[in-house]
Amino acid sequence: METYVSQSFDKNYAAAWSSDQGGFSYNLAQNLMEYINKNKKPVKTALDICCGTGEFLYQLSRFGIVGAGTEVAKSMIDYSQEKYPNMKFTLTKEIYDFPTKGKYDLVSCNHDMVNMIEKLSNWKELFVNAYKSLNKGGMFVFDFYTKKKLENWDEVIFEESDTMDHVKSIKKGMDNKTIMKEIYYMKNDEGFYKKTFDIIVESYFENKEILNTLNAAGFKNVQFCDFSLSPVANAEERNRVHVIAIK
């Protein structure tokens, strides 16, 4: 994966992606802080798995949370390390395979990164590593596209911004896979475009299987939530589910 991801991305891509977040990390961090304050969770440290350009960690740092990140793309690490020299970023071979030496109050893995993990056994590896990395009472927060969303997704999306135009075509793949082909046209300072692409394979599982896998990894207190991190009763009806799992 690393070879492929490294070939597709460079620092220009990281910069374009960073400015094209659409407020996702900003709003999610706000919602998380509301949850933390409401539930009196003493969160001082965070580890963000596959942290991209470090946006989410940056948003957390505004609330005094000290962050570290892992990434599978070296270009993203280079970009984030330069932008946030005080944070520690670690390159990992796989999303789910990261060092568990540190103990954190929060482990996060946002933006359907888990769907990029093909096998449920490797989702379990991620969950086990997250569990091991947490202090007692710590929170593991992640989101995933549900089977309901991915199994019928057939769409071409075009998004335009000041820095990057983005064409995304999404089709059902084999078995429990959905294929996303993305082409990015990034504008440089002289107004020229540079083209890069990505092919992402996302896998889906039943919500129940995901819950059982979290339980098997040690998480007994698990809530399925919406983007505002309020619990939802109808997770089966949803396209994306945010999970809060407490150690």
Residue 156, both tokens:
């071409």
Per rule CB under 6 A, is residue 1 in the interface with ligand SAM? yes
Where does this chain touch ligand SAM (CB under 6 A) — which range of 69-77, 118-126, 183-191, 206-214?
69-77
Which of 110, 133, 146, 203 contacts ligand SAM by CB under 6 A? 110
Sorted by sequence, the CB contacts under 8 Å of residue 201 that are 6+ apart come out as 116, 118, 173, 177, 178, 179, 180
Which of 20, 71, 125, 202 contacts ligand SAM by CB under 6 A? 71
Residue 126, both tokens:
């991620």
- Phi-psi sector, 122: left (phi>0), alpha (psi -120 to 50), beta: alpha
Nearer to ligand SAM, 181 or 187 (CB): 181
Distance, in Å, from the CA atom of 152 to the CA atom of 167, rounded to the nearest integer, reads 19
Per rule CB under 6 A, is residue 111 in the interface with ligand SAM? yes
Rounded to a whole number of angstroms, the minimum distance from the CB of residue 51 to ligand SAM is 6
What does the buried/exposed string (b/e) look like for 38-56 if buried means 16 or more CB atoms within 10 Å of the residue's CB? eeebebebbbbbbbbbbbb
One DSSP character per residue, 51-71 reads -TTSHHHHHHHTTT-EEEEEE
Per rule CB under 6 A, is residue 10 in the interface with ligand SAM? no
Q: What three-state secondary structure class fits 116?
A: helix
Nearer to ligand SAM, 1 or 156 (CB): 1
Per rule CB under 6 A, is residue 69 in the interface with ligand SAM? no
Which of 46, 57, 73, 235 contacts ligand SAM by CB under 6 A? 73
- Strands 134-145 and 104-109 come out as parallel
Where does this chain touch ligand SAM (CB under 6 A) — which range of 58-66, 70-78, 97-105, 132-140?
70-78
Per rule CB under 6 A, is residue 60 in the interface with ligand SAM? no
Per rule CB under 6 A, is residue 77 in the interface with ligand SAM? no
Nearer to ligand SAM, 105 or 143 (CB): 143
Residues forming contacts to ligand SAM in the complex (CB under 6 A) are 1, 5, 25, 50-52, 55-56, 71-73, 76, 110-111, 113, 116, 198-200
